[in-house]
Structure 1
Amino acid sequence: MGTIFSQLKQYKKDSILTPLFTALEVIMEVMLPFITALIIDEGIQGGNMKKVWTYGGIMVIMAFISLFAGAMAGKYAASASSGLACNLRKGIYDKVQTFSFANIDKFSTAGLVTRMTTDVTNIQNAYQMCIRIAVRSPLMLLCSMGMSFMINARLSMIFLAAILFLGCILGCIMLAARKTFDVVFQKYDDLNAGVQENVSGIRVVKAYVREEYENRKFTAAAKKLCRLFVKAEGILAFNNPVMMLAVYCCILSVSWFGAHYIVAGTMSTGELTSLFSYIMSIMMSLMMLSMIFVMITMSSASVKRIEEVFKEEPEIRNPENPAEEVRDGSIDFNNVSFSYKKGSGRQVLSDIRLHIKSGETLGIIGGTGSGKSSLANLVSRLYDVSEGSVCVGGRDVREYDLEALRDAVAVVLQKNVLFSGTILDNLRWGNAHATEEECRQACEAACADEFIERLPKKYDTYLERGGTNVSGGQKQRLCIARALLKNPKILILDDSTSAVDTATDARIRSAFETAIPGTTKIIIAQRISSVQHADHILVLDDGRMNGYGTHEELLETNGIYKEIYESQNKGGGDFDQPQADSGQPGEEEVA
C-alpha cells in the first residue's frame, strides 16, 4: 500500500481535510439524538416550552454545521481520490516508458490497459470510501456506542454481541470473495486482449469471414467473466441479510428490555427514543463498514496488480557516468550469445563474431526464426546480451546513455507504426525541429514523395491511428523517411521494404548513397535483391553465423545463400532496378 499512497503527492492536504470534516459531521450527528432526549424529557414532559425552543435552536445550528461539514468532506474526498487516480495512471505510464522489451514482455498490452483503467478506478472508489466512509463509520460506531452506554450500559451490551457476530461473518465473506476477485481481474486482461486483437486485425477477420467465430470467442470469454462476477457478488450478497438480521435482533431486544425498564422506572421515554436512534446509527455504521469491506476486497486485487508494475525493475538501466556521444557508426559483435529468457537454456543467437566499419552496408539474410531481428535489437540495446558484448563506436553499448545511443541508431521495423496526426507530425518523430523542406527531402530519398504529392492535402494529410488509411508499402516508406530525418550514425532496416515493389526498393537503396553516405546501414531482408549490393552479407541459420562475405563470394561458398538466390531468380530473376520513366510507385493510394 505504501507504493499506492506515495502517489498522493499534492493531494495529501485533501486527504487530511476529508476525515477532519467527516469527524465534525459525525460529532454533530451523534449529539442530535441526545438533544432530542432532552427536548422530550425536560421540555415536553416537563411542560417547559422555553427549553423546547432553546434545545430546538441548538439542534438547527448543529444540523447546519453537520451539513456544511458533510459537503466539504465530500468535496475533498472527491478531489483526493480523483487526484490519486490521475497520479497512479501517470505513474504507471511513466514506469512503462522505462521498461526494456524484456520487462514489457512480462505484461501484456491488454494487462497494462486494464491496470490503468479498471484497476485504478477500483482503487479510486475504494480510497474515496476509505477516507470518508471508513472514518465516518468507526467514529459513528464508537460515539454512538459511548452515548448508548451513558444512557443504559446493560442494554448496550446487545450491540457488542451484534458487532462480534457481524465481524466474524463479514471476515469469512471477505476472505472467500477476495480469491474470486483475484481471478476476475486476470480474466479482464484476457477479455481486453481479445478485443484488442480483433479490432487491430479486423481486416483479416473480414477477409476470412471469421466474424461469427470471433463473436463466439468473445461471448465465451465474456460469459466466463460474468460467471466469476456472479460467483463473487453471490458471496458478497450475504452481507445485507446478515446485517438486517443483526439490526432486527437489536431492535427487538432493545424494545423488549427497554419497555421493562420504563415500566420499572429505571429509564425515561426520551432515553429509549434516543437509544433507538443510536441503534440505527450503530447498525448503519456496521452496514457501511460491510460496504467498505466489499470495496477493499475488490480493490485489494487491483492494488496487487498495480504494485507489480511499480515494483518491476527495468532490466536495462543507464550506467554510472554514461558516455553521452557515439563517436561513429562502427559495430562489433564480440562472441555474442543471447536468450530472451535468461537461464532457459535456449539461445536465440550463439557465438556471433562480426565487425562492421563505420559507413559500411551489411545485409543480413536467413530463414524465419534465424535471429535476424534479435541481432538488430542488440545494437540499440533494446535487449542486453547474455554473453559477450556489442560495441558501437568502439564502446560497449552498456556504457552509453540510453537516450544518446538510441538517438544515434534509427530502426525501421517490418511492422511499421504510424500515429494519429498529419504526415508531417509523423515525420517529425525523427526530428522534432525538422523544417518542411527537410521532411520533403527525406521523403524523396524514401520514395514517399511520389504518393504524398498526389494527395489533396499533401503533407498535411491526416493519418488515422496506426496508419490504417495508407497501404503497407506507403507506411514503410514514411517510416524510412522518418528514420532518415534523425540523420543517424546507424540505420537498421528490418525487412522494412518487404511491402514495396523491387524497383522502388532499388531506388530507396540508391538514394541512401547520397542522402546518408557516412551512415552504417544494416539491411535485414528476405529478398536477395535487397542485400546483394551490400559491402558484406551475413547468412544466419538457427541463430548462428552460416556465412559471411560479398554476394559473389557467398554464391560460390554458401549453400543456403545459393539456394535462396536460385529459388528467387527462377523464371527471369528479380526485377529490382528502377524502370525508366515509369513514374508509378506500384501501390494503392491513401484510402
Structure 2
Amino acid sequence: MIKLFRLLQPYRLQVAVILLLIFLQSFAELFLPTLMSDIVDIGVVKGDIPYILKIGAFMLLVAAAGALCSVGASFLSAKSTAGFGKILRSKVFSRVESFSLHEVDKIGTASLITRTTNDITQVQQVLTMMLRMMVMAPMMCIGGIVMAVTKDAKLSLVFVVVIPILVGAIFLVVRKGIPLFRIMQGKLDKLNLVVREGLIGIRVIRSFNRLDYEKKRFTEANSGVTDTAIKVNKIMAALMPTMMLVMNVSIIAIVWFGAIRIDNGHMQVGDLMAFIQYAMQILFSLIMVSMMFVMIPRAQASAVRINEVLEMEPDITDSADVKEVGRSHGLIEFKDVVFNYPGAEKPALSGISFTAKPGEVTAIIGGTGSGKTTLISLIPRFYDIDSGSLLVDGVDVREMAQDALRQKIGFVSQKAVLFTGTIADNIRYGKKAATDEEVWHAASIAQASGFIAEMKDGYDSMIAQGGTNLSGGQKQRLSIARALVRKADVYVFDDSFSALDFKTDALLRRALRTETADSTVMIVAQRVSTVMDADQIIVLDEGKIAGIGTHKELMSSCEVYQEIVSSQLSEEEIA
C-alpha cells in the first residue's frame, strides 16, 4: 500500500497542511482539560467568577480554533484522497489498456473491473482515514500520556496495564482478519463475473430457460461473499466491545484511585477531572487506531491486487529500436510463422508462409478451430509470433510502433462490438476527424445507409449498450463502416459477413472492390460464396496451410477445399 501512496506526490503541499492542522487540532483538544482543571481548582474552589469567565471564554476560542482546524483538515484530506483515487484509476486503466489479450485473459475481465473500482475505493477510504486518524491518534495518545503524567505520575500507572491489553486485542483481531479480507476480494471477483455473464448473456439464458440455474449461480456467489463478510465482521465486531470494556474499567480504576489520592491530599479535584479526560483521549485514540486496523487489512488486500496489475509487464511492447514506416500500400508477408498459445500442447499455427498484396483480396477459409482468427490476430499484433517473421511493408511488426502499425489497419472483429452513443459516433470511432460526408460514404459502402435512414434520428440515433437495439447484420455493417472510414492500407474482415443475407453480402463485396482497390484486403469467412471471387484463397487445416490459389485452382488441387465446397454448394453451383 505504501507503493500506491507515492501517487500522493502532486498533493504533498496539501498533505503537509493537513498534518499541521491536525497537530493544531490535537494541541487544542489536549489543552482544554488543563483549562477546565484551572477553572475548577482556582475559579470554582475560590469562587473567582471573573477568572471562570475569562478562562471559559479562552476555552471557547481554543475549541473554535480546534473545530476550524478539523473542518479544514477534513476538506483537504477529502480533496487529496479524491485526487489520489483519480490518478490511481487512470494508472490502472492505462496499464490494462496496454495489456495484450494474454494478460487480460490471465487476470480476467471481471477481476480487472473489481480492481479498478472496488479495490481502489477501499484504498481511497483508508487513505482518508489515515490522513486524519493515523496522524491524530498517535498525537492524542502520546500527548495525553504526557499531560496525564504531569497531572499525576502515580495514577498514570493505570495505563501501564491498560495499553498492552488494548494493543494485544488489536493485534489478534488484525492477524485473523487479513486472510479473510483477501478471500473476500476474490469472492467479489467471482460475484462480479456471475453478474456480468448474467447480464451480457440474458437472451441466451432466457431462450434456454436457465433463469433458475443462473439464480442458483448468483446465490452461491452472493452467499460466498456474505458468509466471508459475516465471518470477518464477527472477528472485527469483537474488537469494539473489548475496547469499550477496557476503557470503562480504566475509568473506574482512575476514579477509584484518584479519589483515594484526593482524600490523602496528593491530588486536586480539577486535576482528577482533567486526568479522566486525558485518559478518555488516550483510550479513544487507541479506538481510532483499532478502527483503522479494521479497514487496513481489506485495503491492504486490495492494494496487493492493484499492485499486481500495475507491476504486470505486458508481453507485447514497442521495441527500443522502433523503425519508422511511412504511409505505403500495405504489403503483408508471412514467412514460416509459428504461434503457440500459452499452455497449449501444440502450435495453433505452424509453417505459415504467404503474401497478401495491395489491390488484391486474400481470403482465408477452413474448418472450425483451423486457426483463421488466430492468423489475422497476428497482423495488428494482438499476439506476438513465436518464430518466423510477419512483415508489413517490409518491416517486421515487432519492430514497428503499435500505434503506427494499427493506424494502417481497418479491423473488423468476428464479434461486432459497438459502443454507447450515436450511429455517427460509432462510425467515427474509426477516424475521429471524419467529416459527415465521409461517415455517410462509409455507411453507404457498408450497405448500412438504408436501415440508418429508416431510424427515427438517422445518424444521430442512439445505440444501446452492446448494440442490443440492432440486429446482428446491422451491427456487422456498422462495424464494417467504422473500418472503412479510416481509409486504411490494410483491411481485415474476420468473418464479418456471417450475419448478412446473400444479396447484401454480394452488394457489399462488390462495393468493397472499388473502395479498397489500392489496399490489401483480407477476408476470413465460413461461406464459400464469400471467398470464391477472391484473388487468392488460403485454406487452413489444423493450423497449417492446406492450399493457396484461386477458387478454380483449389478445386483441382486442394482436397480440403473441395470438401468445404461440396458441403455448401450444389453440383450445379460447383459446375
After TM superposition, the score normalised by the length of structure 2 is 0.97
Aligned to 1:181: 181
Aligned to 2:42: 42
Identity value in percent: 38
Aligned to 1:107: 107
Mapped to 1, the partners of 2:459 and 2:37 lie a distance apart of 79
Compare 472-481 and 364-373 and name the one that shifted more. 364-373
Aligned 8 A contact 1:115 1:305 in 2 = yes
Aligned to 2:249: 249
- What amino acid sits opposite 1:523 in the alignment? I
Q: 1:291 to 1:160 in 2, by over 3 A?
A: same
Compare 139-148 and 99-108 and name the one that shifted more. 99-108
Spell out the pairing of 1:297-316 with structure 2 (5 A cutoff).
297-316=297-316
Mapped to 2, the partners of 1:171 and 1:322 lie a distance apart of 57
Aligned to 2:289: 289
User: Are 2:319 and 1:329 equivalent residues in the alignment?
Assistant: no
Aligned 8 A contact 2:364 2:372 in 1 = yes
Aligned 8 A contact 2:155 2:257 in 1 = yes
Aligned to 2:265: 265
Tell me the CA shift for residue 360 of structure 1.
Answer: 2.0
Aligned to 1:404: 404
Mapped to 2, the partners of 1:401 and 1:103 lie a distance apart of 19
- What amino acid sits opposite 1:68 in the alignment? L
Aligned to 1:585: none
Tell me the CA shift for residue 133 of structure 1.
Answer: 1.0
Secondary structure in structure 1 of the residue aligned to 2:179 = helix
Mapped to 2, the partners of 1:547 and 1:99 lie a distance apart of 34
Aligned 8 A contact 1:409 1:491 in 2 = yes
Aligned 8 A contact 1:324 1:401 in 2 = no
Tell me the CA shift for residue 485 of structure 1.
Answer: 0.9
Tell me the CA shift for residue 571 of structure 1.
Answer: 8.1
Aligned 8 A contact 2:364 2:523 in 1 = yes
What are the Cα deviations for residues 188-214 of structure 1, in whole angstroms up to 9, with x where unaligned?
Answer: 111111111111111112222222221
Mapped to 1, the partners of 2:147 and 2:500 lie a distance apart of 83
Tell me the CA shift for residue 233 of structure 1.
Answer: 0.7
Aligned to 1:22: 22
- What amino acid sits opposite 1:332 in the alignment? E
Spell out the pairing of 1:513-532 with structure 2 (5 A cutoff).
513-532=513-532
| RMSD after superposition | 1.7
- What amino acid sits opposite 2:427 in the alignment? L
Aligned to 1:277: 277
Tell me the CA shift for residue 326 of structure 1.
Answer: 4.5
Q: 1:448 to 1:87 in 2, by over 3 A?
A: same
Mapped to 2, the partners of 1:172 and 1:91 lie a distance apart of 35
Mapped to 1, the partners of 2:502 and 2:156 lie a distance apart of 90
- What amino acid sits opposite 1:288 in the alignment? M
Aligned 8 A contact 2:363 2:536 in 1 = yes
User: Are 2:550 and 1:553 equivalent residues in the alignment?
Assistant: no
Tell me the CA shift for residue 325 of structure 1.
Answer: 2.3
Tell me the CA shift for residue 321 of structure 1.
Answer: 3.9
What are the Cα deviations for residues 450-495 of structure 1, in whole angstroms up to 9, with x where unaligned?
Answer: 2222223222222112111110001111111111111111111100
Tell me the CA shift for residue 392 of structure 1.
Answer: 0.5
Aligned to 2:471: 471
Aligned 8 A contact 1:414 1:497 in 2 = no
Mapped to 1, the partners of 2:549 and 2:438 lie a distance apart of 36
How many residues are paired up? 574
Spell out the pairing of 1:446-465 with structure 2 (5 A cutoff).
446-465=446-465
Mapped to 2, the partners of 1:266 and 1:274 lie a distance apart of 15
Aligned to 1:338: 339
Mapped to 2, the partners of 1:6 and 1:278 lie a distance apart of 35
Tell me the CA shift for residue 396 of structure 1.
Answer: 0.3
What are the Cα deviations for residues 252-287 of structure 1, in whole angstroms up to 9, with x where unaligned?
Answer: 221222122112111111111111111111111111
Tell me the CA shift for residue 9 of structure 1.
Answer: 4.3
Tell me the CA shift for residue 423 of structure 1.
Answer: 1.2
Aligned to 1:417: 417
Aligned to 1:53: 53
Secondary structure in structure 2 of the residue aligned to 1:503 = helix
Secondary structure in structure 2 of the residue aligned to 1:31 = helix
Tell me the CA shift for residue 2 of structure 1.
Answer: 4.5
Q: 1:573 to 1:6 in 2, by over 3 A?
A: farther
Mapped to 2, the partners of 1:185 and 1:434 lie a distance apart of 44
Secondary structure in structure 2 of the residue aligned to 1:6 = helix
Tell me the CA shift for residue 28 of structure 1.
Answer: 0.5
Compare 40-49 and 268-277 and name the one that shifted more. 40-49
Aligned to 1:164: 164
Tell me the CA shift for residue 248 of structure 1.
Answer: 2.2
Mapped to 1, the partners of 2:283 and 2:499 lie a distance apart of 69
What are the Cα deviations for residues 216-264 of structure 1, in whole angstroms up to 9, with x where unaligned?
Answer: 2111111111001001111111111220221122112212221221121
Tell me the CA shift for residue 347 of structure 1.
Answer: 1.6
User: Are 2:496 and 1:490 equivalent residues in the alignment?
Assistant: no
Mapped to 2, the partners of 1:413 and 1:318 lie a distance apart of 23
Tell me the CA shift for residue 344 of structure 1.
Answer: 5.1
Mapped to 2, the partners of 1:82 and 1:112 lie a distance apart of 20
Aligned to 1:579: none
Mapped to 1, the partners of 2:208 and 2:51 lie a distance apart of 85
Mapped to 2, the partners of 1:498 and 1:573 lie a distance apart of 20
Mapped to 1, the partners of 2:548 and 2:49 lie a distance apart of 108
Aligned 8 A contact 2:329 2:518 in 1 = no
Secondary structure in structure 2 of the residue aligned to 1:333 = strand
